Structure 1
Amino acid sequence: MSLAKWKEREREERKKDIIKAARNLLAEKNFDDVTMDEIAREVGLGKSTLYLYFKNKESLYFAVVLGGIRIWYESVKSEVEKGNTGLEKFILYGKANRTFSNRYPDYFRLLYSPTSIKKEFDPDKMNRSEEFQEVRELFKKIMSIGIDSIQKGIDDGDIRQDVDPTEAAILLSVIYNGRVNMGDWARDLLETKDIDDDKFDKDIGDLFLHMLRK
């Protein structure tokens, strides 16, 4: 291996270490409570060295999120391809979303982080971030899979004609957002009815399908 390739591999490994450290910290704290100093200490680097890999905290945040949304996109895409009808594809779309949220709760929380955290981001820095741009494009692709599934369901005659596919897919995304950021008061109420996370997720899916079906 040439020296240049060895250095490039070393750089990539260190970058992965930084992203892993940031993911661990962001899984425990909100965005504004995690500092670049803290991340640098976690990975054993100087803060100045950290900025050689990521221009700012926003860029690093979206590098973490990017790893999660890539997994999410591939899992949704492969699962939906198993369906034949539009309704089958949409049911599989919801199943893939639930599976991802259960398997990677830290990624899902970061992707659906509260608005109060997102307000901390500098819009100019976000727009200049390659990671942010890719996250946004992949999220649109995930939404498009849901939209196309609903449209096919309408064309198949299984989903109501008066349903707008884009509006329905966005509504489902809003529901997931609320599900992730649900307050303790809501969880307490569900517990009084012996409704755990799995049952609540299933009931959400059943109710949403009831809204869509003819």
Structure 2
Amino acid sequence: MSMTEWKKRERQERQNDIINAARKILANKDFSEVSMDEIAREIGLGKSTLYLYFKNKESLYFAIVLRGIRIWVEMVKEEMKKGKRGVEKFSLYLNANQKFSKEYPDYFRLLYSPTSIKKQFDKNKMNSSTEFQEVRSLFKDLMNRGIEALKQGIDEGQIRAEVDPVETIILISVIYNGMANMGDWSKEILENRGIDEQKFSADVAEIFSQHLIKIEKK
């Protein structure tokens, strides 16, 4: 390995360490409560060194969510390959989303950050961030995969023709947002009924499969 390759690899490993540390902190604390000083201390770096890798907290945040959505998109792609018909693909799409939220709850929460967090971002910083732009692009790709599965199901006559694929996928995204930012009182009500977050997620997927997206009987 050349010196250039070694330095590149070392830098990548350090970036990964920073992302992993910041991911754990941001998943459990409000964005406004976390400082670059705290993140630097967590991984044993000086604040000035941290800024050599990420120019600000927003840049680091989007590096984290970018990693998360890349994992999510790959999960969806691999899962949907198992289906041929539109209805199958849509069901697999929902399964993959549920799997991601279960295996990576911190990424899921950060990807559906509360509006209060997003208001703290400088729009100019966001729009100039390559990470932010890729996150937006991948979110669109993720949603388009669900939309195309529904369109295929309609064309194949297994999903009602009046179903709007775009509206349905947007509604699913809104529900995921609500699940990620569910209030403590809602969680308490569900827990009192013996329903944890994963069961609730599975039940939501079941509602979509059996009721909202009604399969016609032949």
TM-score (norm. length: structure 2): 0.94
Name 1:208's counterpart in structure 2.
Answer: 208
Q: Secondary structure at the match of 2:175?
A: helix
- What is the alpha-carbon distance in structure 2 between the residues aligned to residue 6 and residue 191 of structure 1? 50
- Which stretch shifts more, 28-37 or 194-203? 194-203
Gaps of at least 5 residues in structure 1 are none
Name 2:12's counterpart in structure 1.
Answer: 12
Name 1:153's counterpart in structure 2.
Answer: 153
Name 1:122's counterpart in structure 2.
Answer: 122
Name the amino acid aligned to 1:28. N
Name the amino acid aligned to 1:25. I
Name 1:94's counterpart in structure 2.
Answer: 94
- Which stretch shifts more, 129-138 or 98-107? 129-138
- What is the alpha-carbon distance in structure 2 between the residues aligned to residue 58 and residue 169 of structure 1? 28
- What is the alpha-carbon distance in structure 2 between the residues aligned to residue 5 and residue 198 of structure 1? 43
Name 1:199's counterpart in structure 2.
Answer: 199
1:15-61 deviation digits (Å, cap 9, x = unpaired) = 11111111121122121111111111112222122111112111100
Q: CA deviation at 1:155?
A: 0.6
Q: CA deviation at 1:164?
A: 1.2
Q: Quickly say closer, same or farther: Cα 1:172–1:4, change in 2 above 3 A.
A: same
- What is the alpha-carbon distance in structure 1 between the residues aligned to residue 191 and residue 64 of structure 2? 32
- What percentage of aligned pairs have identical amino acids? 64
Q: Does 1:50 align with 2:19?
A: no
Q: Secondary structure at the match of 1:16?
A: helix
Gaps of at least 5 residues in structure 2 are none
Contact 2:102 2:198 in 1 (8 A): no
Name 1:71's counterpart in structure 2.
Answer: 71
Query: Alignment RMSD, CA only?
Result: 1.3
Q: CA deviation at 1:199?
A: 3.0
TM-score (norm. length: structure 1): 0.95
Mapping of residues 13-28 of structure 1, within 5 Å: 13-28=13-28
Q: Quickly say closer, same or farther: Cα 1:45–1:199, change in 2 above 3 A.
A: closer
Q: CA deviation at 1:176?
A: 0.9
Q: Secondary structure at the match of 1:89?
A: helix
- What is the alpha-carbon distance in structure 2 between the residues aligned to residue 111 and residue 155 of structure 1? 32
Mapping of residues 31-50 of structure 1, within 5 Å: 31-50=31-50
Aligned length: 214
